[in-house]
Chain A
């Protein structure tokens, strides 16, 4: 034992590494397809980035286990964009200069995406995200694609749902953050375009804990329905609870936040029947259930199912396009393939990309919160009513 043992161990492991590397070199004449993955696995978007990387790795393992793409393996080169524009630029340059990839899947933070997108656009590198939702990405360029739905679509779909449900006088309350304000603004615009009327609009700063003043004002306007756009689950849950305590018994609509686990715990029975408009996996889609089960099998947890499915689909779409172009350095061919493709996968059936690289054919789902007795960890406390109506 002692030092000589450690030395031998080190020598042995070095040898083993060499053998593996040598074997890897000799094995294939045509190397694997290499594509970059850029996600924010540290920093503010950590949860999203990690789930995305794991889902992509899962898809790649499946593809390779099934014999690869035309007999060639698929290999991911993962980089961290840390959820900020500057780190995304260094990560981008590392991927394109050092690893020489021409196709990058990612990234999960909109700021990071928008930081690297001008470079990708200039240098003709495809960036294909499954998670970034900032509406600005639509205008980022010809080589920029995403399967994630822009935040603006949530508002448009919410407006449609409200109108279709027969709501004509709406009251809104929103947290003063960009996301929540954006949802409120697009919802209102769509609702008013359809002919609806906003009878009260209130907003609150992020650290508020009591909403009775604003809610009383809203109730005095006797709306048909209340729409809540929140950023923090605690505020969403508390608003639902307090508005019911004030005696309001009309319908409540929300973005995804007020029906999160924490929010439902706060609101309790008051939340029953609240409708939320957000992207979600279709429970009737067998593929989606399969992917979730495989993910749970591999990593022992499931979170953010829609984003997970979106990242997973990205890899299969990329594999399909690589099969067509047969060259991982052909970014233009890959881009043209994306413009032409129609895909059915985890997040939806027959979806494709428009001229801005935005996904079309996917819609937000309408979710309804279940009574407390029926809420479980698996169903997240809600059921999917179906896709939001388009007009």
Chain B
């Protein structure tokens, strides 16, 4: 209600004095960040239209689900976790193992059992499995705080990666899993890239909605209070460990969902997609977009994907160094952003 009233008042003011909008928004980094990222995305879509834009959109949707889910833990609750990629991987591997229908017996490498389940049967399992692992891990993690929390979550990411690599009669190790199923509802198969993007956006919408309901509820306010001062909120009789565990599990389930979607999108996965570096990138997306802001995570994921894919079109690079130079530019841009905008593009809270 208040947003609507505010918007109407703002519009009235702009109608009376058109210059006022410019004067007020000139200094607003937030507005400009929004305009630039969205504008660049729009231009990119129009410029590079068609198939590639759909691919980039799909990559964005998967990163966005991950970023929003991680923001619940890092931004709202103040637990800096770099282990999120582990839950992402668990979701992906659950989906891959359950739905893969490749005939591995033909190959001269590792054979694993194939279940050949449909996508929608495996999806809940992927989500619940990520949640269960998070529950077990979270009970232990609740004993830690701050810097130590970063370290133990780091440990979790390493353990998860090693498990994917070494549990060979389930994951085929470095050989990877082929032919992960695409979703199908009766005769409607999401085989085309555009249909899959639509499905991804539906799931992204769902995750955003759930996250929004959480952070605007009284539950969400307790989380924010834990971030600000855990002892203080404990004094009021809140069992903070329960709250922390709950949001940790919810967030992990969303990451598991993202992983399941990724496995189905790419139809092939191997442990290289779940290395620690990806986790660090994810944390930087969340910080880049803005902590404790769902919109910030969406914007951060968009900015990151656009930056990375946009780099493919930087002209005049010698072909041998194209990849390395792109990575360097990306790194420099991230450092500059953190230097001049440590709260992220649209965030309100600094680590």
Contacts and interface: CB of A to CB of B under 8 A. Distances in A.
B52 A78 contact: no
Nearest to A80: B323
Interface stretch (A86-94, A281-289, A378-386): A86-94
A115 B272 CA distance: 11
Contacts of B51: 93, 96-97
Interface string B323-334: 110110000000
Contacts of A111: 174, 176, 270, 272
A97 B53 CA distance: 9
Contacts of A138: 107
B107 A78 contact: no
B268 A78 contact: no
Nearest to B321: A41
Nearest to B48: A98
B177 to A, nearest CB: 10
Contacts, number: 109
Given A41-B322, A76-B319, A89 B55 contact: yes
A175 interface: no
Nearest to A138: B107
A79 interface: yes
Contacts of A150: 108
A182 B321 CA distance: 33
Contacts of A96: 51
Interface string B61-88: 0000000000000000000000000000
Interface residues of B, number: 39
A148 to B, nearest CB: 15
Contacts of A44: 272
Interface in A160-187: 176-179, 182, 186
A268 to B, nearest CB: 32
Contacts of A94: 52, 55, 309, 312
Contacts of A42: 323-324, 326-327
Secondary structure of the B contact surface, majority rule: helix
Contact of A135 (B108, B320, B323, B324): B108
B218 interface: no
B108 A152 contact: yes
A78 B175 CA distance: 26
Contacts of A254: none
A: interface residue count bin = 35 or more
Contacts of B187: none
Interface in A18-51: 37, 41-44, 49-50
A136 B100 CA distance: 15
Nearest to B103: A139
B233 to A, nearest CB: 40
A93 B52 contact: yes
B175 A136 contact: yes
A3 B60 CA distance: 40
A298 to B, nearest CB: 10
* Interface core residue of A79, A91, A98 (most chain B CB under 10 Å): A98
Contacts of A43: 272
A178 B324 CA distance: 28
B106 interface: yes
Interface string B11-48: 00000000000000000000000000000000000001
A253 B317 CA distance: 45
A178 B51 CA distance: 35
B50 interface: yes
Nearest to A56: B319
A111 B106 CA distance: 19
B262 interface: yes
B323 A82 contact: yes
A84 interface: yes
Contacts of B244: none
A54 interface: yes
B223 to A, nearest CB: 31
Contacts of B106: 139
Interface string A262-281: 00000000000000000000
A144 interface: no
Interface string A184-209: 00100000000000000000000000
B266 A115 contact: yes
A37 B107 CA distance: 27
Interface string A125-141: 00000000011101100
Contacts of A134: 109, 175
A54 B266 contact: no
Contact of A86 (B48, B109, B168, B266): B266
Contacts of A78: 319, 322
A105 to B, nearest CB: 12
Contacts of B165: 178
7 contacts: A85-B273, A86-B59, A90-B56, A115-B268, A118-B267, A136-B109, A136-B176
Given A85-B273, A94-B309, A96-B51, 11 more contacts: A53-B319, A57-B319, A82-B323, A85-B269, A86-B59, A93-B51, A115-B266, A118-B267, A135-B109, A178-B174, A179-B174
Interface of B: 48, 50-52, 55-56, 59, 106-110, 165-166, 168, 173-176, 178-179, 262, 266-270, 272-273, 309, 312, 319-324, 326-327
Q: Which 8 A-B pairs give the minimum distances between C-beta atoms?
A: A80-B323, A41-B323, A97-B51, A93-B55, A97-B52, A178-B174, A78-B319, A84-B272
